[in-house]
Amino acid sequence: MLEMGCKTMSADDYDDEELAEIRRRRLEQYREEAKRRELQKQLEAQKQALLRKLLTEKARERLNNVKLVKPDLASLVEEQLIALAQTGRVAVPIGEDTVKNILAELYSRTHREPKIRFKRK
């Protein structure tokens, strides 16, 4: 046992303090994670509200269909559409044909054909 001032601490006290510190840190991590998720939800809601204003119904349907199959590509397209609308480089409301063109362009940039190589002995 260690003597600290007039109080003696046992190994159990150290374990209790250590356990309390671990719990405190874990609780703080959960709170930070909850804040981050809440902020992410708010940003996503703002993005969806903006897209509802920018896109026609058909364009929104097409983008949602793409999101089901390729969420990364859909996210890139959404960011591109918002950027184009904010800079005034595309007319609002954005139609399905414009969304198709942007989808095709971004897909061709990001898609990589698998290469199959045969090694002959």
Q: What are 109-119's pLDDT values in tens digits?
A: 888 888 888 88
Q: Residues near 116 by Cβ (< 8 Å), separated by ≥ 6?
A: none
Per-residue pLDDT band for 54 (boundaries 50, 70, 90) equals very high
State how far the Cα of 82 lies from the Cα of 104, in Å rounded to an integer.
Answer: 17
Place of tokens 């999101």: 67
Predicted local distance difference test score (pLDDT) of residue 103: 93
Whether the CB-CB separation of 96 and 59 falls below 8 Å is answered with yes
pTM for this entry: 0.67
Question: Is residue 51 very low, low, confident or very high in pLDDT (cuts 50, 70, 90)?
Answer: very high
Max alpha carbon distance in the chain (Å)? Answer: 81
56-93 per-position pLDDT tens digit: 999 999 999 999 999 999 999 999 999 999 999 988 89
DSSP states along 25-59: HHHHHHHHHHHHHHHHHHHHHHHHHHHHHHB-HHH
End-to-end, the C-alpha distance of the chain in Å comes to 72
Q: pLDDT (tens digit, 9 = 90+) per residue, 8-22? A: 556 677 688 999 999
DSSP designation for 82: H
Quick: pLDDT tens for 20-33.
999 999 999 999 99
Residue type present at position 57: E
Q: Tokens for 59?
A: 């364009």
pLDDT at 47: 93
Structure-token pair, residue 76: 């890139």
pLDDT value at residue 11: 62
